[in-house]
Amino acid sequence: MVGKKIRAFREFRGYSQIQLAELSGINVGTIRKYELGIRNPKPDQLEKIATALGLNVSVFLDFNIETVGDVLSLLFSIDDSVNLSLAETSDQKISLTFDNPTMQDFFRKWCQFKNVYEKEKAEILAIEDADKRQEELDKLNATQEEWKLRAMGTTIGCHTIVKKGTEGNCLSFHATITPYRRKYPDLLIRFLFYKRKRALMSSEFLVVWVGVCLVC
């Protein structure tokens, strides 16, 4: 899983394996083995790769969440470090709010994306042809993963500090990064191609997609 993330972020930045090797100081053959899952990088190696890609190393970590206890453990840890509020809504549900403008803005965009994603998914599930249905689901899920990748790979996603008492600061990094917006046209073209093949061209989905692209 770590190897897949390394490859995804490397391609997102527009780097070849050779370029990542040069930036991280890690042998290109080792980078290749990491991406193929043949070897797992040690913490110090992963830190070098994250720095080379201009990322926080935490984006490579996997959380095995299966039980309520797993969720609670993460929530308690977040509550210890980040300002958040809990409140009961009129319909007796509990809302969790992050008291940070950057986080609020991101969650607003994420909410919009998820709403449109579910709408698109419902339309796809109504397709009678099983093979076609699965093909479209795969495309939609790939779009969702790319959205997440883009959100985590931005300066805001990885370097805006939200820890209690330090809000508004940013971590500095010195990696030479392919400009974010230079990658945007290619991703948008692929997204439009997907929408054109489905003949839906939902402007709602497109607006939400562009929204996260312009976050940074």
The answer to whether residue 161 scores a pLDDT higher than 80 is no
How does residue 207 score in pLDDT terms, banded at 50, 70 and 90?
A: very low
What are the residues whose beta carbons fall under 8 Å from the beta carbon of 166, sequence distance 6 or more? Answer: none
DSSP state string for 83-105: -EEEEE-TTS-EEEEES-HHHHH
At 212 the pLDDT is 44
At 158 the pLDDT is 55
Long-range contacts of 193-201 (CB under 8 A, 24+ apart): 194/139, 194/140, 194/143, 197/139, 198/136, 198/139, 200/120, 200/123
Q: Using a cut of 0.85, tell me whether the model's pTM lies above it.
A: no
How does residue 159 score in pLDDT terms, banded at 50, 70 and 90?
A: low
At 127 the pLDDT is 94
For the chain, what is the mean pLDDT? 77
The answer to whether residue 6 scores a pLDDT higher than 50 is yes
Q: What pLDDT, in 10s, does the model give residues 136-154? A: 999 898 888 888 877 776 6
- 162 near 114, Cβ under 8 Å? no
What are the residues whose beta carbons fall under 8 Å from the beta carbon of 185, sequence distance 6 or more? Answer: none
Instruction: Identify the DSSP state of 59.
Output: G
In percent, the amount of the chain with pLDDT more than 70 equals 73
Q: What pLDDT, in 10s, does the model give residues 39-97? A: 999 999 999 999 898 888 888 877 788 899 998 998 898 888 888 889 998 988 998 88
What are the residues whose beta carbons fall under 8 Å from the beta carbon of 200, sequence distance 6 or more? Answer: 120, 123
